[in-house]
Amino acid sequence: MIPILPVAVAPAPTVDGSSGLTAPPPLALYVHWPWCVKKCPYCDFNSHESRGELAEDSEAAYLAALIADLEAALPQIWNRPVVSVFIGGGTPSLMRAETAEALLAAIRMRLPLHPGAEVTLEANPGTAEAAKFAAFRAAGVNRLSIGVQSFDDARLAALGRIHDSGEARRAIEFAQRHFERVNLDLMYALPEQTLRDAEHDIATAVAAGVSHISAYHLTLEPNTPFHHAPPPLPDDDLAADMQEMVEARLAAAGFEHYETSAFAKAEQRCQHNLNYWSFGDYLGIGAGAHGKLSNHQTIWREARHRNPRAYLAGAARGDFISTRQAVAVGDLPGEFMMNALRLNDGFPLSLFTERTGLPLSVIEQSALAARRAGLLEVVDGRMRPTAQGRRFLNRLLARFL
């Protein structure tokens, strides 16, 4: 038996199938910038090629739409403090420095940001400029996430990236002049990559002296060119060796492996992503942005119009949201566990009820079965995946879906 799995007291589900929450969870803001220079063949994010320099008037129109989108959403989040802001894409570093400054000023005018709130902007090495990075920092960005992916020119070419290894190193140098907190996104199990190639990427990232590294296994996502015409990839055994190497090398370098693909130095975890994984709330604005928002009765998921033209056309009508629906009470346990079990430390048992409004008893049988299979454990009041559960995370999560 699991040694600690108390039955939490929670309100009964409401008539519409939602649950009762004693208080809404922490709130984050996501801002989507949909344009990039070139669409990568593995990418399934909502990104669109700008086909040359984005016109200044188009950028101004999108900024105005973002601000109007935020204004329209304010009644849903009135007076709720915001713990973090994340500007993702696409390639947000394509935006003009003046745009970033105006965007963040508009956010600060309308939302109560926590003192010292984490404000992240994603950057592509192919769009890195020292002066622009300095301007982003002056505008209020305090964390930069750079999509390096690899330091191997052959691997970068195979991925369809617009930058080379030299540009990646220069982007890191520019970033570290102005930002204390820098994340590098890397991928492994790349086309024709060897274990030695992957080791070189990790060693180079560590030597750069950044405080956070995200290391992802390349996956072939549906509706991408790589899915339709797969490149030659390492087999499963070699990919597993690469994963073990990544974890061991980063641990030896002082990085804490705190989430499936995230590694951080002390006190440098990504607060925005931690809010996602802890089943916090987030408002998403911009083309294709998704959000999760709670009130005392219902947890809502919503999405904005995906295509930038449709989003701008909707903005002209005051119509930003393409879909909005309540999360059914039967889906809440699975949604919570899909996020929280990505964290290697798991979650305090009380968090399940705080964030879903449901008693722990609804997951008890699934948790017991996962524990008997060696995938899950409860230690010091926290439910967390075992080492085997982390290795076979999808198998663990399936027990709660």
pLDDT of 296: 78
Find, among 164, 183, 163, 218, the residue nearest to 41 by Cα: 218
Q: Are residues 3 and 34 in the same domain?
A: no
Q: Is residue 200 domain-shared with residue 334, that is, in the same domain?
A: no
Task: Read off the pLDDT of residues 252-272 as tens digits, 9 standing for 90 and up.
Answer: 999 999 999 999 999 999 999
Q: What is the pLDDT of residues 116-134, one digit of tens each?
A: 999 999 999 988 888 999 9
State the total domains in the chain: 2
Mean pLDDT rounded to a whole number for the chain: 93
Within a domain: 138: yes
State the pLDDT at residue 19: 53
> What pLDDT is attached to residue 5?
59
How far apart CA 5 and CA 14 sit, in angstroms, is 24
Domain that includes residue 373, residue range: 1-14+330-401
Say yes or no: 167 and 241 in one domain. yes
Do 3 and 51 sit in the same domain of this protein?
no
Question: What pLDDT score does 100 carry?
Answer: 97
Give the separation between CA 383 and CA 391, rounded to whole angstroms.
Answer: 16
Q: 340 and 201, same structural domain? A: no
Q: What is the predicted pLDDT for the residue at 53?
A: 54
198, 126, 216, 121: which is closest to 169 by C-alpha? 126
Q: What is the pTM of this model?
A: 0.94
Is residue 330 within 8 Å of 311, Cβ to Cβ? no
Please say whether the beta carbons of 340 and 278 come within 8 A: yes
End of a domain among 233, 248, 276?
276
**Do 4 and 140 share a domain, yes or no?**
no
Same domain, 252 and 376: no
2 and 38 in a single domain? The answer is: no
How many CB atoms are located within 10 Å of the residue 162 CB?
15
Q: What is the pLDDT of residue 22?
A: 76
pLDDT score for 297: 83
Are residues 375 and 395 in contact, defined by beta-carbon separation less than 8 angstroms? yes
Point out the residues of the chain with pLDDT beneath 50.
1-2, 4, 7-18
316 falls within a domain = no
Residue 167 sits in a domain of what CATH number?
3.20.20.70
The pLDDT score that the predictor gives to residue 373 is 97
Report yes or no on 126 lying in a domain: yes
**pLDDT of res. 23:** 81
The verdict on 41 and 105 lying in the same domain is: yes
